[in-house]
Protein backbone atom coordinates (compact mmCIF):
# COMPACT_ATOMS: atom_id res chain seq x y z
CA UNK A 1 0.00 0.00 0.00
CA UNK A 2 1.36 3.43 -0.94
CA UNK A 3 1.56 6.38 1.42
CA UNK A 4 -1.19 8.10 -0.61
CA UNK A 5 -3.47 5.11 -0.09
CA UNK A 6 -2.66 5.08 3.62
CA UNK A 7 -3.40 8.81 3.97
CA UNK A 8 -6.66 8.53 2.06
CA UNK A 9 -7.82 5.47 3.97
CA UNK A 10 -7.10 7.19 7.29
CA UNK A 11 -9.00 10.28 6.09
CA UNK A 12 -11.89 8.13 4.86
CA UNK A 13 -12.11 6.44 8.24
CA UNK A 14 -12.11 9.85 9.95
CA UNK A 15 -14.74 11.09 7.49
CA UNK A 16 -16.89 8.00 8.00
CA UNK A 17 -16.84 8.40 11.78
CA UNK A 18 -17.85 12.07 11.53
CA UNK A 19 -20.66 11.26 9.08
CA UNK A 20 -21.98 8.56 11.41
CA UNK A 21 -21.92 10.97 14.36
CA UNK A 22 -24.05 13.51 12.48
CA UNK A 23 -26.41 10.92 11.05
CA UNK A 24 -25.44 11.53 7.42
CA UNK A 25 -26.75 8.68 5.20
CA UNK A 26 -23.70 8.90 2.95
CA UNK A 27 -21.63 7.36 5.75
CA UNK A 28 -22.58 4.01 4.21
CA UNK A 29 -21.07 5.07 0.88
CA UNK A 30 -17.79 5.94 2.61
CA UNK A 31 -17.82 2.64 4.51
CA UNK A 32 -18.28 0.77 1.22
CA UNK A 33 -15.29 2.60 -0.29
CA UNK A 34 -13.13 1.67 2.67
CA UNK A 35 -14.24 -1.96 2.51
CA UNK A 36 -13.79 -2.25 -1.26
CA UNK A 37 -10.49 -0.47 -1.71
CA UNK A 38 -8.37 -3.62 -1.29
CA UNK A 39 -10.25 -5.32 -4.13
CA UNK A 40 -10.32 -2.30 -6.44
CA UNK A 41 -7.76 0.41 -5.57
CA UNK A 42 -8.13 2.02 -9.02
CA UNK A 43 -11.89 2.22 -8.52
CA UNK A 44 -11.32 3.96 -5.20
CA UNK A 45 -9.42 6.81 -6.87
CA UNK A 46 -12.03 7.08 -9.60
CA UNK A 47 -14.90 7.25 -7.08
CA UNK A 48 -13.10 9.78 -4.87
CA UNK A 49 -12.55 12.04 -7.87
CA UNK A 50 -16.21 12.04 -8.95
CA UNK A 51 -18.72 14.90 -8.96
CA UNK A 52 -20.67 13.01 -6.31
CA UNK A 53 -17.85 14.04 -3.97
CA UNK A 54 -16.72 17.40 -5.37
CA UNK A 55 -19.48 18.72 -7.62
CA UNK A 56 -21.94 21.38 -6.54
CA UNK A 57 -25.20 20.90 -4.69
CA UNK A 58 -25.73 17.34 -3.59
CA UNK A 59 -22.03 16.50 -3.43
CA UNK A 60 -20.43 15.16 -0.30
CA UNK A 61 -18.35 18.33 -0.08
CA UNK A 62 -21.56 20.40 -0.08
CA UNK A 63 -22.92 18.29 2.78
CA UNK A 64 -20.58 20.18 5.10
CA UNK A 65 -22.76 23.24 4.59
CA UNK A 66 -26.11 21.59 5.34
CA UNK A 67 -27.99 22.43 8.51
CA UNK A 68 -28.33 19.66 11.06
CA UNK A 69 -31.42 20.65 13.05
CA UNK A 70 -31.11 17.69 15.43
CA UNK A 71 -27.59 18.56 16.58
CA UNK A 72 -26.60 21.22 19.10
CA UNK A 73 -24.76 24.09 17.40
CA UNK A 74 -21.51 23.46 19.28
CA UNK A 75 -21.47 19.80 18.27
CA UNK A 76 -22.28 20.63 14.66
CA UNK A 77 -19.41 23.15 14.52
CA UNK A 78 -16.96 20.52 15.84
CA UNK A 79 -18.16 17.91 13.39
CA UNK A 80 -18.15 20.19 10.37
CA UNK A 81 -14.50 21.04 11.05
CA UNK A 82 -13.75 17.29 11.18
CA UNK A 83 -15.62 16.71 7.93
CA UNK A 84 -13.74 19.50 6.21
CA UNK A 85 -10.35 18.37 7.52
CA UNK A 86 -10.93 14.85 6.21
CA UNK A 87 -12.01 16.19 2.81
CA UNK A 88 -9.00 18.54 2.72
CA UNK A 89 -6.71 15.56 3.28
CA UNK A 90 -8.40 13.52 0.54
CA UNK A 91 -8.46 16.50 -1.83
CA UNK A 92 -4.76 17.25 -1.31
CA UNK A 93 -3.81 13.68 -2.18
CA UNK A 94 -6.02 13.73 -5.28
CA UNK A 95 -4.52 17.05 -6.43
CA UNK A 96 -0.98 15.77 -5.90
CA UNK A 97 -1.78 12.68 -8.00
CA UNK A 98 -2.94 14.92 -10.88
CA UNK A 99 -5.97 14.81 -13.14
CA UNK A 100 -8.25 15.79 -10.29
CA UNK A 101 -11.86 16.84 -10.48
CA UNK A 102 -11.97 20.58 -11.24
CA UNK A 103 -14.01 21.27 -8.10
CA UNK A 104 -11.46 19.89 -5.66
CA UNK A 105 -9.11 22.86 -5.48
CA UNK A 106 -12.00 25.27 -4.85
CA UNK A 107 -13.45 23.11 -2.10
CA UNK A 108 -10.08 22.58 -0.41
CA UNK A 109 -9.40 26.33 -0.44
CA UNK A 110 -12.88 27.12 0.88
CA UNK A 111 -12.64 24.49 3.64
CA UNK A 112 -9.28 25.84 4.80
CA UNK A 113 -10.57 29.41 4.85
CA UNK A 114 -13.80 28.48 6.63
CA UNK A 115 -12.00 26.43 9.28
CA UNK A 116 -9.52 29.25 9.96
CA UNK A 117 -12.27 31.88 10.16
CA UNK A 118 -14.63 29.70 12.20
CA UNK A 119 -17.38 29.64 9.59
pLDDT digits (tens, 9 = 90+) for 29-64: 999 999 988 788 888 899 999 999 998 888 989 887
| Residue 17, φ and ψ in degrees, nearest 5 | -60, -40
Say if residues 45 and 98 touch (Cβ distance below 8 Å). Answer: no
Residue-wise pLDDT tens digits, 8-30: 999 999 999 999 988 888 999 99
Domains in the chain: how many in total? 1
Q: What is the pLDDT averaged over residues 63-90?
A: 86
What pTM did the predictor assign?
A: 0.91
High-pLDDT (> 90) share of the chain, %:
56
What pLDDT does 87 receive? Answer: 96
The pLDDT assigned to 29 comes to 92
Q: What does DSSP assign to residue 66? A: S
The alpha-helical segments, DSSP class H, found in the chain are 3-22, 27-36, 41-48, 51-54, 73-97, 104-117
Amino acid sequence: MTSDEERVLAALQWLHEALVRIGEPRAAEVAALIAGQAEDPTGLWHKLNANAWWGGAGSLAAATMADRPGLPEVLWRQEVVSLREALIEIGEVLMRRGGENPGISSWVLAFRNWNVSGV
